[in-house]
Amino acid sequence: MCGVAFLYQPAYTADQLTGAMRTALRHMAHRGPDDQGLWQNPPVAIGHRRLAIIDLGASRQPMHDSHGRFVLTYNGEVYNYKDLRRDLEQHWTFQTQGDTEVVLAGLATQGIGFLKKMEGMWAIALWDRTNRTLLLARDRMGKKPLYYQVLRDGIACASELPALSSLARSGWEEDLDSTADYLRYGAYLPGTTAYRDVREVLPGHVLQWDPSGMVRESAYWTLSLGGFSGSLDSARTELREKLVRAVQRRLVADVEVGAFLSGGIDSSLVVGILSNELSVQPKTFTIGFTDPAYDERQYANIVATRYRTDHYEETLSDWDSELLKKLILEHVGQPFADSSLLPTSFLARLASRHVKVALSGDGGDELFSGYQRYQGRALLRWYTRLPKIVRLNVERLIQRIPEPMAHHSRSLLKKAHLFYDVIKRQEAEQPYVAPTFYSNPFFAKLAPELAGRGHPPPRLPPETHEDSLLEMMAADALVYLPQDILVKVDRATMAYSLEARAPFLDRDVVELAFSLPRPWHRRGTRGKRMLRGAFADLLPRSVWQRRKQGFGVPIHQWFRDRLGNELEELLSTTISPLSTPHVRDMLHAHRLKARDHGYRLWGLYVYLLWKKRLPPAPQS
């Protein structure tokens, strides 16, 4: 894995170009500690930080073709590069053994269409010196980040926002529409960032730019739903074959590959496939918690023992405010509301001491209907058939009972309160975009200055319009996954120079999962039916039957103590569009254990951390 940067800036001297690029690369040293490369031909500078995984002694970047026309900087891995190379050899004389030159050769000889043949993860910047055009591209699911800013006379792009800021060298201002999105959904919408005029290349898209100011973005891949014509048994067989092949593809490396092992179904399946199907006994890694409500080590140890992995674990007992500030301000570069960023970073740190690559179970919940919120939506269909007076009494009862300060998977009362939130979303008649949701009345109290603000939510495939569960799965795959889960995994792992690979997000697995009839994924309150049917033999009964448990941290406890005090201080010292009295009321109710506002307060806390660092906007 690596970090990439590109700058076209005619206003800079050669020395200024070099200085800006070196600063950007310094910001991304964690993404590639093994090598640094810089190519320059004013007004263009191209940079690269390398984490060497394949063809360790060669494949340096930026890489150019033998004629010097195309210059490539690329972050990612193309797992089928050897097959692609064989097809390209009749038109290209290869000088290296890695995947980088395959990407260069394919794009140089076949153009954008070559992206459709690639399987893996990538963020690409390709400069065509002859036509003076820049091509930017991201992988289908958005595993690898790529941000850009169109400048007055040029363009800048980079893998991370702090690096991009050093290239643009202009004061960035908060985008209040994006802030409204963040406060409403707990994440920024695809293509947007926290900053005005700073964008992110969309997953599955290419962006073309030239010095005339032309910017054209188009999709080379879109998610299709439905269309599977086989039987349930044939689907299970095909799923097993494709997921095993996906895991096998992600073993392509010239360094050791390990695996994260949370004890949940998805990461346990990856380890089971490695051992049972591919005869690999990997190093596995788990983070535990002193709070038993969050600790999954029992199940991780069951799987590790069954498959005789070389297992490592650590215990997280408290939160680390300095680490959080570093992750948000120096790596993510904008507010990030998912508190599991912290344990994920500890897990990455543990794994990085032993391997350079780790497989993860990311994507299993989105593709195979694993989240508990899908259970809530399924129950809603039954609930709406009840007489209105019964429903009103149920909702009044839920509101009167204090919300438990318990991990959501272990408490029926907690589930009742979460179900109430689902009801409110349904009554608001607003489309599902992301799991975090503030109804319009609540949002109006939280941030009255942002009334009417926000970007239009992304369009989902039309097939989802008649199936609310399918709508949730598609939105989670196309919004929540790239804007939350994959951001978290990329920044947490790259902070420790570790490459994470997600077999569930293999193109063949993704396309198969969404081609299947939705009822095959979930029956009543039980999800992941396809995984249970296809891989029943790989995991012990205790893992299959355990309750779903997210990779969370006890933030509800932290906000009743030191973290709550820090939030109060931030509210007092930071100018923001938030209603300070309303946030204080939320914190007060939380401390009294009347409502569990932990995850909401966390998002606000992180926003204020970032906002305090942001220079004030110029007065008009």
Question: Binding-site residues for ATP, please?
Answer: 287, 360-361
- E-strand ranges in 159-271 read 199-200, 205-209, 215-219, 257-260
Tell me how crowded residue 373 is: count the other CB atoms within 10 A of its CB: 20
Binding residues: 99, 287, 360-361
Cα separation of 58 and 366, whole Å? 37
Record the tokens describing residue 213, joined without a space.
């100011």
Task: Please check whether residue 243 is in contact with residue 271, taking contact to mean a CB–CB distance below 8 angstroms.
Answer: no
Cα separation of 464 and 509, whole Å? 19
Cis peptide, bond prior to residue 343, ω within 30 of zero: no
Active site residue 2: yes
Q: Phi-psi bin for 124: left (phi > 0), alpha (psi -120 to 50), beta?
A: beta
Task: Please check whether residue 508 is in contact with residue 462, taking contact to mean a CB–CB distance below 8 angstroms.
Answer: no
Using the structure block, give the residue that is written with the tokens 């998002």.
603
Task: Please check whether residue 155 is in contact with residue 24, taking contact to mean a CB–CB distance below 8 angstroms.
Answer: no
Distance of CA 85 to the CA centre of its chain: 29
Which one of the listed residues 1, 2, 505, 538 is annotated catalytic?
2
Binding residues for L-glutamine: 99
Element (H, E) at 4: strand 2-8
Cα distance between the two ends of the chain: 42
Task: Please check whether residue 367 is in contact with residue 502, taking contact to mean a CB–CB distance below 8 angstroms.
Answer: no
Cα separation of 426 and 447, whole Å? 22
Distance of CA 330 to the CA centre of its chain: 17
Under 8 Å CB-to-CB from 495, ≥6 apart: which residues? 30, 326, 327, 331, 345, 348
Number of helical H runs and strand E runs in the chain? 24, 17
- E-strand ranges in 42-163 read 44-50, 63-64, 70-78, 120-128, 133-138, 147-150, 155-158
Element (H, E) at 538: none
Using the structure block, give the residue that is written with the tokens 């380890």.
271
Under 8 Å CB-to-CB from 225, ≥6 apart: which residues? 461, 463, 464, 470, 474, 514, 515
- E-strand ranges in 110-256 read 120-128, 133-138, 147-150, 155-158, 199-200, 205-209, 215-219
Under 8 Å CB-to-CB from 260, ≥6 apart: which residues? 267, 284, 285, 286, 347, 351, 358, 359, 360, 361, 500
Cα separation of 19 and 23, whole Å? 6
Under 8 Å CB-to-CB from 212, ≥6 apart: which residues? none
Residues with active-site annotation: 2
